[in-house]
Amino acid sequence: MNDHMPIYIGNQAIAEFVNFCKKEKLSKYFLIADENTFQVLGKTVREAVLAQGWDLIQIILDPEGLHADDLNLTRVLNAYDAQPRTFLAVGSGTITDTARFTSHRSQNQFISFPTAASVDAYTSKNAPVTIGNLKGSIYCHAPIAIFTHIPTICESPKFLTASGFGDLVSKLTSSSDWKYTHLLWGSKFDQDIYDRALAAGQTAANLVKGIAAADPDSMAGMMQGQFDSGFCMADFGQSDPASGGEHHIAHIWEMMAHWEHREGLFHGNAVGVATIMEARWYEKLRSLSRDEAFALIEKATVPGYEEQAHDLQENIPEIAQELIESNPIYMQLSDPEKLDRVKDKMRAHWEEIQATAALVPSPQDLEKWLVILGGPTTPEELDFSAEQIRLARDYGLYLRARFSINIIRKMFGW
């Protein structure tokens, strides 16, 4: 159930937006879009605002090379006139995150107009933005309302829909990574939010054929699943329910693309490919007998702290210092006492570990779904080298405090 903010999904999004603003007595706005999203929906939003005699300023960003990064955040803040305004985010992930961050830091609220089912974070309070070389999920705030014009969503490019599917279906691995972090590392956990995150991911799997056909009801269902995923993050206050090891691998690839000034990598596509990688490790985990697992647990070792620090500095120097200072779980496991405690918990919770792994789809199913939607299924399709694939796999696990299947993979020597 949504008790967060008004959400409209349908054909009358603009009229519903105007009625909402009248009810809330809003009259001053800052519209943020890029040249593409302005043409498909932003112009209509602008005309609706001006038709009411309301005050509006705007910035229309160049979509070429557009990222939610320090450069574009500064551009938006530079165009803002320091008056109290409701920010209007007309776009998908990059525009929404840019508006989320800049509205929050300028102490304004914002309204979201999604233009594609390309991400699952419209309702989230977190903004994944790149500051300097490091991409991080920064706590900001959620929109005060979301108005989804379904014809615009259905007409959006297929590759954006495939990206959104990859982001949403990843809840089927991220929720399991979160459960493992709770069982093995003692992190905060909420069973209801966990169940909702799983259901959001399953929504994507259930609607594959309708999504591929851009059926309005299926696209509306996918959007609702994405909103629900965002609510899971908002309710928990962190991204844990909806961002696991698959996201961290993807974030490394996204940072690499940013460092190389390379365009064309979509967040959900990277996440979808990394979800398949995690699903392979979950499949391997499911295949273990209890005796096989306990033998692997017994002989599991973790490199020393200094060795890991040196390894990070040698292999991923752009963000090594920030990662080391964050005191990641894998570095903490270099302490023999902590490693032994985790081993004890793995033995004690082995049945629950396996039951959780059983909820992750097979990599074959994930591949099939993404192929139906025209999405990539391998890192090579994302144009990453074997070395870049290795780096993301081996160092993604340092990005966030998650005891993901990727850490278990490392412990087991896979």
Q: What confidence score (pLDDT) does residue 138 get? A: 85
172 and 114 in a common domain: no
pLDDT tens for 28-85 read 999 999 999 999 999 999 999 999 999 999 999 998 878 888 999 999 999 999 999 9
Residue 214 located in a structural domain? no
Q: What is the pLDDT of residue 3?
A: 64
Instruction: Tell me, yes or no, whether 172 and 97 share the same domain.
Output: no
Residues 254, 267 contacting (CB under 8 angstroms) = yes
Domain membership of residue 204 (yes or no) is no
Q: What is the extent of the structural domain holding 345?
A: 161-190+239-412
- Asked if 182 and 90 sit in the same domain, the reply is no
In terms of domains, do 82 and 22 share one? yes
Kindly state whether residues 135 and 250 are assigned to the same domain. Answer: no
Residues 6 or more apart whose CB falls under 8 angstroms from that of 267 comprise: 93, 118, 119, 128, 163, 167, 250, 254
Where do we find the tokens 């399709």? 381
Same domain membership, residue 167 and residue 151:
no
Average pLDDT of the residues in 147-171: 95
CA-CA distance, 237 to 252, in Å (whole number)? 23
In a domain, 224, yes or no: no
Report the CATH number at residue 81.
3.40.50.1970
Q: Is the pLDDT of residue 234 over 90?
A: no
3-state helix, strand, coil in the chain (%, to 5): 60, 10, 30
* pLDDT tens for each residue of 299-340: 999 999 999 999 999 999 999 999 999 999 999 999 999 999
Q: Parallel, antiparallel, or unpaired: how do β-strands 28-34 and 7-10 relate?
A: unpaired
Same domain? For 63 and 170 the reply is no
For residues 181 and 105, membership in a common domain is answered with no
Domain identity same for 247 and 309:
yes
Both 118 and 254 in one domain: the answer is no
CATH number at residue 283: 1.20.1090
